[in-house]
């Protein structure tokens, strides 16, 4: 369940900031055709922080409808208020998602016991499986392997997205959780090594740009062809770093705009378009990879 390449999908918008559902459908078809194994809708890369609840739910609902069951859809449903996270989980549960990605509460800096209580409450309220999301670089709070192990006992908590970029965390966590508990990388730069060390896939930002390469890399790792996994990763390793020269999702949106996949690179404030120097760097890289013409 939930193994392989899951794209952390951007949410396309028009110049006025409204959701561009036509471009969204184009992106979903692109990922299905390119072999992406699943979509994370309205996670961090999908600008969950600036979409109000009704819009958040509608984007996920449309994503489910547009995918038509071709690949699983995981909905971002995290919040730093447990009550809000439960409300969003219940609302999204009604639109046909296959699971949820729920982030460690941000800003609050909860204790480990608080994280256990938070995620257990969400899982209790959900009819779909929940994947935990640890990204201390954004949330400040860090969910420890022992906490993950305690939460993995819950029947609805089936996995972890680990965005620490620290492979030792994977090695600490694997022996503590059930064998069917899925651990996904949330850090593109270390995802190849992560899977070669026993991880089950990646929730990827880079997959927005090169979905086929990421899906093939994951398939190679899952088939234990680790040399092939590493070789594929080497071909796109520059993208892993260059897509993060400005805060995510600034560069992925700009890249998709230049590739003609979305009509606009606009984001909701406080995120703005990339600096001219950043635009130039990513455009040169897209030309290098023959993703746009020179």
- Helix spans in the chain (H): 21-34, 53-67, 82-93, 112-125, 136-139, 145-151, 167-173, 191-196, 211-222, 226-242, 250-258, 276-288
Catalytic residue among 133, 155, 171, 289: 133
In terms of residues, how long is the chain?
294
| 106: CB partners within 8 A, 6+ apart | 80, 138, 139, 140, 141
32 is an annotated ligand-binding site residue: no
235 is an annotated ligand-binding site residue: no
Catalytic residue among 106, 161, 253, 257: 161
Q: What is the rounded CA–CA span in Å between residue 281 and residue 294?
A: 13
Return the structure tokens found at 54.
Answer: 């009704």
- The three-class DSSP label of residue 281 is helix
Q: What are phi and psi of 96, to 5 degrees?
A: 95, 20
Q: What are phi and psi of 40, to 5 degrees?
A: -100, 115
41, 44, 48, 59, 136 from 54: Cα distances, Å: 14, 17, 12, 9, 27
133 flagged as catalytic: yes
Instruction: Answer yes or no: are the C-beta atoms of 157 and 123 closer than 8 Å.
Output: yes
Instruction: Answer yes or no: are the C-beta atoms of 97 and 89 closer than 8 Å.
Output: no
Instruction: Answer yes or no: are the C-beta atoms of 92 and 100 closer than 8 Å.
Output: yes
29 flagged as catalytic: no
Instruction: Answer yes or no: are the C-beta atoms of 130 and 119 closer than 8 Å.
Output: yes
Q: Which residues are catalytic?
A: 133, 161
Which residues are annotated as part of the binding site? 45, 203
Which residues are annotated as part of the binding site for pyruvate? 45, 203
């Amino acid at each position: 369940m939930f193994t392989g390449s899951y794209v952390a999908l951007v949410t396309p918008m028009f110049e006025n900031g409204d959701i561009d559902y036509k471009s969204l459908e184009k992106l979903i078809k692109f990922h299905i055709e390119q072999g992406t194994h699943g979509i994370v809708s309205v996670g961090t890369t999908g600008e969950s922080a600036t979409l109000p609840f009704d819009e958040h739910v509608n984007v996920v609902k449309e994503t489910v409808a547009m995918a038509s069951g071709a690949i699983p859809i995981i909905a971002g449903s995290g919040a730093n208020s447990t009550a809000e996270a439960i409300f969003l989980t219940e609302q999204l549960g009604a639109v046909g998602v296959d699971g949820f990605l729920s982030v460690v509460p941000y800003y609050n800096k909860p204790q480990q016991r608080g994280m256990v209580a938070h995620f257990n409450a969400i899982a209790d309220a959900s009819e779909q499986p929940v994947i935990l999301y640890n990204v201390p670089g954004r949330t400040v709070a860090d969910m420890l392997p022992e906490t993950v192990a305690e939460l993995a006992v819950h029947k609805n908590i089936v996995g972890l997205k680990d965005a620490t970029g620290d492979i030792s965390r994977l090695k600490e966590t694997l022996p503590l959780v059930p064998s069917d508990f899925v651990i996904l990388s949330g850090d593109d730069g270390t995802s190849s090594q992560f899977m070669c060390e026993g991880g089950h896939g990646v929730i990827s930002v880079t997959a927005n740009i090169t979905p086929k390469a990421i899906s093939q890399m994951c398939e190679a790792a899952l088939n234990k062809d680790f040399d092939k996994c590493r070789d594929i990763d080497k071909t796109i390793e520059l993208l892993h770093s260059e897509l993060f020269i400005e805060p995510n999702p600034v560069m992925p949106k700009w890249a998709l705009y230049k590739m003609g996949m979305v009509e606009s690179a606009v984001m909701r404030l406080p995120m703005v378009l990339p600096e001219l120097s950043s635009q130039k760097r990513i455009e040169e890289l897209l030309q290098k990879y023959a993703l746009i013409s020179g």
